[in-house]
């Protein structure tokens, strides 16, 4: 379905019982709401109603040109606006990768909209800041961001030779067909630039503005994540004042919803179904 929010048109993948408790699902880079396809059947069977949003820059009708249009406050306002457009007062919120950053921001700024938070792969921004300041290995893991912030250069590197580098980055999500479902949309004119603008619009001030989270929270981290190390994962607890759980998945890379959908779904249910 499509929803109009803040002058933009977003694609939302819906499923589950129409009267079920709502779950807002927020994807990461360079994916889309389809990354939850193997997770949602378990949630639907438990009676939950899911809304998987194709976020700003990923929905073709929500692709503004200015880089500053992709700042974290704008992304958080989109998520809140989509809930409004759906007629949802509050929801369980699940976010992966950049979607986790949006989820952290939503829970911190609008706790009344978030029943429970499940952040996947990316911890609270303050935990990331701590790791970057204290752990040289985290600095090395995050070095790719410098490339992503370079207009034109990043697009050329990632899309050359039929997006070879982008496909290689996504290799752990599964077979060639699964890689293509994410890489091919990024080859559409303007799509990758819009997705990379999330990195280019990112500022230290916006990250620092995400305060402590008081809603019940589960952070899901995997020990083979190439982008997020243990220092950042373990620092996350200090920035949640509500009930907090860290769930570690062994032998799984960064692409948890694709690689480990069943354990992730069970972890979500353990938090949201009581």
User: How far apart, in whole angstroms, are the C-alpha atoms of residue 116 and residue 21?
Assistant: 12
What SS3 class is residue 56?
coil
Q: How far is the C-alpha of 175 from the C-alpha of 184, rounded, in Å? A: 14
pLDDT in tens, 151-191: 999 999 999 999 999 999 999 999 999 999 999 999 999 99
Q: How far apart are CA 266 and CA 18, in angstroms?
A: 21
Determine the pLDDT at residue 260. Answer: 98
Please say if the pLDDT value at position 274 is more than 90: no
What total of structural domains would you count in the chain? 1
CA angle, residues 47, 96, 223, in degrees to nearest 5 = 110
Residue span of the structural domain in which 223 resides: 2-272
- CA distance linking residue 6 with residue 268, whole number of Å: 29
Q: Specify whether the CB–CB gap between 131 and 138 falls below 8 A.
A: yes
Active site residues per annotation: 97, 199, 254
CATH number at residue 13: 3.40.50.1820
Contact 71, 102 (CB under 8 A): no
Q: What is the pLDDT of residue 62?
A: 98
Order of strands, sheet of 114-120, starting from the edge strand that comes earlier in the sequence = 2-5, 8-15, 48-54, 21-26, 91-96, 114-120, 217-222, 244-249
> Rounded to an integer, what distance in angstroms lies between the CA atom of residue 176 and that of residue 168?
10
pLDDT tens-digit map of 96-151: 999 999 999 999 999 999 999 999 999 999 999 999 999 999 999 999 999 999 99
pLDDT, tens digit, for every residue of 46-83? 999 999 999 999 999 999 999 999 999 999 999 999 99
Task: Work out whether the CA dihedral 268, 194, 186, 10 comes out positive or negative.
Answer: positive
Cα–Cα distance for residue pair 35/257, rounded to 1 Å:
6
pLDDT tens digit sequence for 244-266: 999 999 999 999 999 999 999 99
Contact 97, 119 (CB under 8 A): no
* Model pTM score: 0.98
Cα–Cα distance for residue pair 247/64, rounded to 1 Å: 36
Strand partners, 5: 8
Compute the distance between CA of residue 269 and CA of residue 263 in angstroms, rounded to an integer: 10
């Amino acid at each position: 379905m499509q929803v109009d929010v803040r002058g933009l048109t977003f694609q939302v993948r819906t499923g589950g019982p129409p009267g079920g408790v709502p779950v807002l699902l927020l994807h990461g880079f360079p994916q889309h709401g389809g990354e939850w396809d193997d997770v949602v059947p378990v949630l639907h069977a438990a009676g939950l109603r899911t809304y998987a949003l194709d976020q700003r820059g990923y929905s073709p009708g929500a692709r503004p040109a200015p880089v500053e249009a992709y700042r974290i406050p704008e992304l958080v306002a989109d998520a809140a606006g989509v809930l409004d457009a759906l007629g949802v007062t509050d929801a369980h919120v699940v976010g992966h990768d950049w979607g986790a950053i949006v989820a952290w921001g939503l829970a911190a700024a609008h706790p009344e909209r978030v029943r429970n938070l499940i952040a996947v792969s990316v911890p609270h921004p303050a935990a990331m800041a701590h790791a970057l300041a204290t752990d040289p290995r985290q600095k090395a893991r995050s070095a790719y961001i410098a490339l992503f912030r370079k207009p034109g250069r990043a697009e050329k590197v990632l899309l050359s030779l039929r997006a070879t580098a982008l496909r290689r980055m996504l290799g752990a999500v599964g077979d060639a067909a699964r890689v293509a479902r994410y890489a091919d949309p990024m080859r559409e004119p303007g799509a990758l630039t819009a997705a990379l603008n999330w990195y280019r619009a990112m500022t230290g001030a916006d990250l620092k503005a995400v305060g402590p989270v008081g809603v019940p929270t589960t952070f899901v981290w995997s020990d083979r994540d190439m982008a997020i190390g243990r220092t950042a994962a373990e620092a996350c607890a200090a920035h949640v004042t509500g009930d907090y759980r860290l769930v570690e998945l062994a032998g799984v890379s960064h692409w948890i919803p694709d690689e480990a959908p069943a354990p992730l779904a069970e972890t979500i249910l353990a938090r949201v179904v009581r």
